[in-house]
Amino acid sequence: MKLLSLWVWMSLLTASVAYADALKPSELLDGMKSSVVVVQFTYDGEMGKRDFAGMATIVREDGLAIYSLDLAPRSLPDTQMTDFKMIFPGETETEIEAEFLGRDERYGICYVKPKDSQTHTWKPVLFSDHPVRVGDTVHSIGILPKLAGYNLYYCSARVSAVLRGPVPQVLVDGTGLSVIGSPVFNESGQAIGLVNSQPDRTVLLNDPRNPFVTVENPTRLFTPASDFLPSLKHPPEPGTPIRIAFAGLGSLTGLSKDVAEFYGLKGKVAIQVGDVIPGFAADQAGLKRGDIIIGLNGQSLEKGDLPEETPAIFNRKLSQMDVGQTVELEVISDRGTPSKTLRMTLGERPAQANKAERFYAEDLGFTARDAVFEDRYLRKLPSDSTGVVVAFIRPQSAAQAAQLTPNDFIQSINQTPVKDVQQFQEVYKTFREEKPRDALVLEVLRGGNTQIIRIEPPRE
């Protein structure tokens, strides 16, 4: 089976070389040996430790590298990602310690940097905002899976479409491109994009279940460099995460052609405000539920291929602006009335769940974490509501048997109101020490209803 897998990807690579004309694949491949690496880290979770490995591209002479957010998604708590390493392709015994600098969710990339940048000479890939046209030949350099020694390999294809949407994508034909995280080059050797964030493709290079899936199923989409270049100019620094701008718009809806015409907006791109979160930028600017936004900073809104894509494009543009930046919105409040301009000063997005403190009640098999703004907003709770959120349930545990579920909002433990995860942990540990055989009683909020969950401790 392994021989068959090897034959499949060798055939794909041989076929892809037929596309190359001006650029010499062997020279591109050799020149990338100090420009791409494998990033590996250990996920130290409740079910044990597991190593994740994926491809990264060097973007600075000190070894700063970027890789796909798919390898370290928002769902992974920062505190559970440990032991970062950078491994050189083709030299699986050579690795150096690295440091995770953070995610940039606005552009779908993560940053990692060697702890000692003097141990190796790095050759950064210098991405450029070069136009991509249908019919262009593009090339990518990827890294083979761990079972194939993390060696470099080459792919080539032709651009078949440039797609609009919340995240711009370029579609290619033929045998496709290499793995997620691979830099993409044009015929002149300019780095013009990155194979990034493919929902139906794995990012892992060390998946034991199907080690050659990344090569047997090459990707056919890449993100043009013009989309993520702003992030490369301002990467995160150690201890300084990226601040993401936030307007406080709970929901937005793209107007269909018929609805737009009803409001006298024929031929215009528009979105309607569904919810304005009190106290945040949009509320302070005077934006109201039902208002229709038709312009941003003096420009028409960017259109997606579908009306529902327009709000995502708008929100992404706002998130890519600076915290504290003032923007102008062109807004229509009522049908038949002229538009007005509202000035909105963007705030900072509230802390996310992956930054929250966590506690694992190992004997009962569940993890609780601090509640964040999003938890309260989705449940329509007051901003000062206290409690903790269930983040994990171990299969076949006492917590699962008691029907505790992820995202339950715990409001009290043994009739003691819960303030935060630190207090929850203290009450829990004291109770287990004093009454190790008694059931734990939790009051939880689930789907708008309060439920009582009684968890019996496991029998010895």
Q: Is a pLDDT exceeding 50 seen at residue 5?
A: no
Confidence at residue 297, expressed as pLDDT on a 0 to 100 scale: 96
Confidence at residue 93, expressed as pLDDT on a 0 to 100 scale: 67
Average pLDDT of the chain is 89
For residues 51-62, one letter each, b for 16 or more C-beta atoms within 10 angstroms of the residue's C-beta and e for the rest, the string is ebbbbbbbbbee
**Residue 203 binned pLDDT confidence (cut-offs 50, 70, 90):** confident
17-59: per-residue pLDDT in tens? 344 346 788 889 988 999 999 999 999 999 999 999 999 999 9
The one-letter code for the residue type at 237 is E
Question: Do 157 and 173 form a contact (C-beta atoms < 8 A)?
Answer: yes
| Domains annotated on the chain, with CATH | 1-242 (2.40.10.120), 245-348 (2.30.42.10), 353-455 (2.30.42.10)
77-131: per-residue pLDDT in tens? 989 999 999 998 876 668 999 999 999 999 999 999 999 877 788 999 999 999 9
Q: Is a pLDDT exceeding 60 seen at residue 408?
A: yes
pTM beyond cutoff 0.85? yes
Q: Is a pLDDT exceeding 80 seen at residue 223?
A: yes
316-325: per-residue pLDDT in tens? 999 999 999 9
Confidence at residue 448, expressed as pLDDT on a 0 to 100 scale: 86
Confidence at residue 460, expressed as pLDDT on a 0 to 100 scale: 63
Confidence at residue 120, expressed as pLDDT on a 0 to 100 scale: 84
Confidence at residue 13, expressed as pLDDT on a 0 to 100 scale: 46
The residue among 174, 154, 158, 224 whose CA lies nearest residue 195 is 224
The residue among 251, 268, 284 whose CA lies nearest residue 332 is 268
Average pLDDT over residues 352-357: 93
Confidence at residue 9, expressed as pLDDT on a 0 to 100 scale: 43
Average pLDDT over residues 276-301: 95
User: What's the rounded Cα separation, in Å, for the pair 270 and 300?
Assistant: 9
Instruction: Kindly report which listed range (193-197, 328-332, 410-414) carries the lowest average pLDDT score.
Output: 193-197
Confidence at residue 91, expressed as pLDDT on a 0 to 100 scale: 65
364-395: per-residue pLDDT in tens? 999 999 999 999 999 999 989 999 999 999 99
User: What's the rounded Cα separation, in Å, for the pair 233 and 130?
Assistant: 17
Residue bearing tokens 């995460």: 241
The residue among 382, 355, 353, 370 whose CA lies nearest residue 420 is 370
The encoded tokens of residue 25 equal 């694949």
